[in-house]
Amino acid sequence: MTAPGAVLVHGLWHGAWCWDGVRAELDARGIASVAVELPLTDLAADVRATREALDAFGHPAVLVGHSYGGAVVTAAGGHPLVRELVYVAAFQLDEGESVSRTRTGEALPDTRLAEAMRVTGDEVGLDPQLGRELLYGDADPEVAVACTAQLRPVHRLVFRGMPEVIAWRTVPSTYVVCTEDLAVHPDLQRALAARATRTVQWPCGHSPAATRPDAVAALIAERVQALG
């Protein structure tokens, strides 16, 4: 059996690049990792890309999803190489739910994320200034500017996709609640985290991979090492 590692799944408007700092920290700890590049055209295509990445990785894996990436790992986590799921401020969805509508979130407060969205045809982008505030408000200014400059539009279908497999029902999961998050409300995260096997809370905003890559890597390494 090859040594276990980590497969990392980004959220909306991002790319595999957002895991670069975390992957460097994992590499320093001797943990193999790969970051998936999602097409962000619809949930089914993103799940397919993640399952293909798991096939190519070829190791037992902790599958990590950030934000929308949680919807993806929920569905892709039924892959036979997945040993644990990690949700970072992510959508740990149940049957019949999408990132735009969760049963747990119906009575909870919203953030300003919808206000930041800019729709052009079938593409949904983000207002640069408000998007930066919501996603990277606690990051160093130069980091926030650099990350925001790499954001890309997504297809509107991603907001409606419902996972066909609910992997967390059979695969252990860890949920990281980001208590200062301005994009996915912390109250919604806590409600979703009730579905996880274990929960941790970090006093940070929406993007800890950018603001505290060492802490993200340490958690992932802990979960990988727990696999033995």
* 58-61, long-range: CB < 8 A, 24+ apart: 58/2, 59/2, 59/3, 59/4, 59/5, 59/32, 60/1, 60/2, 60/4, 60/5, 60/227, 61/4, 61/5, 61/6, 61/7
- The pLDDT score that the predictor gives to residue 1 is 53
Reduce the DSSP state of residue 217 to 3 states and report it.
helix
Query: What stretches in the chain show pLDDT beneath 70?
Result: 1, 105
Q: What's the confidence (pLDDT) of residue 228?
A: 80
Could you tell me the CA-to-CA distances from 57 to 11, 16, 54, 82, 147 in Å, in that order?
A: 20, 15, 5, 11, 26
* pLDDT recorded at residue 80: 98
Q: What is the pLDDT of residue 54?
A: 98
pLDDT at residue 2 in the model:
84
Looking at residue 103, what is its pLDDT? 84
- In whole angstroms, give the CA distance from residue 196 to residue 86: 9
In this prediction, residue 57 carries a pLDDT of 97
Residue in the structure block whose two tokens are 């991603």 = 158
Give one DSSP letter per residue of 3-36, joined into a string: PPEEEEE--TT--GGGGHHHHHHHHHTT--EEEE
Distance CA 218, CA 110 (A): 30
pTM, to two decimals: 0.97
Q: How many residues does the chain have?
A: 228
The sheet that has 117-120: what strands, in order across it? 117-120, 123-126, 154-155
> What per-residue confidence (pLDDT) applies to 91?
98
